[in-house]
Chains A and B, each alone.
Chain A
Amino acid sequence: MARFSKELEHAMKFGVVVFPGSNCDHDTYHVISKVIGQPVDFIWHRESAVGEYDAIILPGGFSYGDYLRTGAIARFSPVMGAVKAFASRGGLVLGICNGFQILCEAGLLPGALMRNASLKFICGHINIRVETDDTPFTSRCRKGDVLSVPIAHGDGNYFCDSATLAELQRENRVIFRYSDANGAITEAANPNGSLDNIAGICNRPRNVLGLMPHPERASEELLGSSDGRVVFYSLADTLAELAKAS
């Protein structure tokens, strides 16, 4: 991964939202602070402003015990009003796993994450193919790159109606798809029954991305793969460029 520069020129401030039941908040914080070396704060879900941050991450976990539906209660947290306003101003928002589910429930991303087709909670390393480098979250990737990253979810089965799926495909908004190690999109490589092997999508302005796999759990070789850190480096790069331009 020679495309990683050792140091980023501008320090960008990341915020990691903590809901009751979040459990990947510290992993995400660790990767931002120690791996890519950027300032980061936790944001408690009762905060009603997120204005001082350059990027907001909704981490994985089981917010509010996933009662009712995954992400259904979290979307009413005070912080989500602030996250919506932040996103509508063009702020960068990344939702990982439960964060993706919350973004869908909140209407920031289309579709829904349903119970895995197998009905089983799945936990393990899988492969995803990067479908486009045209997002702030994949700018350091090349289209077709295959990343080895873990999943850990019971409800990751992406669903949307056929009109929405056509729109996602037409607008190049399917960002990650489950693939085999060679990048082939096959049914066998689809761990949870997701429509069109979808593992991650973005919104129309491309500043909000949600994905079920955990890039923060694959950002250091010690953990078996560092493929996931490209997402955080891409994010930091984009922010640095935005800062230079302004």
Chain B
Amino acid sequence: MKNRIFMLVSLLIIASVLLAACSGTEAPAGQAGTTQAPAAGEKVTLRVLVHQNPPMVDFMTAFNEKFQTNHPNITVDMSIVNANDLSTVSQTRLTAKDVDVVDMFGFANAAQPYMKKVDPPNWQTLIEAGYLMDLTGQPFLANYAPNALQDAGTYNGKVYEVNLGRVIYSGIYYNKKLFTENNVKVPTTWSELVAACETFKKANIPCMTAGGKDGWPIFVGAYGLLGAIYPDQAGLVEGLWTGTIKWNDAKSLEMWQKMQIYARDMMEPGASGVAGDAAPGRFASGAVAMFPGGSWYASAIEAAQPDFEWGYIPFPGSDNPEDNKYLFGKYDQGWVIAANTPNKEAALLYLTEFSAKENYQAFVNAVGFIPTQPDVTLDTKIGQEVAPYLSNFHVGYEQYWVAPKGAGQYANPWASYFKPFGTYDDPQALADKVQADLQSGLDAVK
């Protein structure tokens, strides 16, 4: 009897292990081109997944209502998740065949030929596993700029994502009223920025705020410092990998020195506790002179205080004004369709209508994206503010950067390593630490 019970328990263990193991290797059932479109007029529930971005969610809600009115047989079931969870939820729902259309950030961080032993980004793994529909040749793609499709949605010559816009994150919002009242000129150089902050501090006005609680806004706020010194961000990444650029060389040390001033002297005390989505409200309250941040914050500032007067300038990281005319950013949100969707026709229809010029124009105006459709312009205030610099738009460093395995946790150009947010108060010591952490990884993957 004991033997039989032992056998039974053993079988159960083996069965459970096999179940767990099999669940990890099952291939997706559907592939692009093999799904059956529902018959015309058939009731369809189109499952759409987007990330939390209040202006975008408001727009999408209105768009969905309009879409449903145009197509009474289609019901749009839109889910909203936090931006940090989008990647995980997308992956889970794509593999569970539980979603049709997904909002996915522009393809970035691809492995480059000079990078050794790096893991492919998730979007690439999803494509290779057959989860994203090949959209190549779909008529609505013609509405978008070919370079946007190529840069942010193409892999191995096929289009998998329609990118909906670029955002800028190397600028500073400034409070026009405070600048006027304190006779401060809008800074175009680093020295002018430092002087402006000193003037505001003397007047007991905090110079800058940021959503430090989320961590990354402190880094993103200082992007202009990185950009002013290394305008060719793809070249910077290659230089770091190949050793021609070092985080502790003389050029980089200048950046670290300025980052310390930014973190220690420019940022208001307590900024580390301000949540990312609360920072625009803090700035719009009129209490702070400047707010280094991305173009996507504009609509939140306007929503918080519609009459508030603000401007937006590139972060002046250099004392040469010509070096400060660049804007850095990334391809933001785009649409992908699940390859195994049973609602292929409805999903393509959804993207087709979204891509119609009037809808797309309303979308970019709502969210403040720099459009990827050539016939559309950003008509909003932020659009006017960034228009003079758009010809100098560059994709930013962190869209290219992939850390070598074995690199330490400090191998990044982040201003938040400095006090009061971090532990460092010596730029040279931090520069050496960052380079050592990077070099450790580069040596490990040789």
Pairing of A with B: no
Q: Which residues of B contact A (CB under 8 A)?
A: none
Residues in A lying within 8 Å of B, measured CB to CB: none
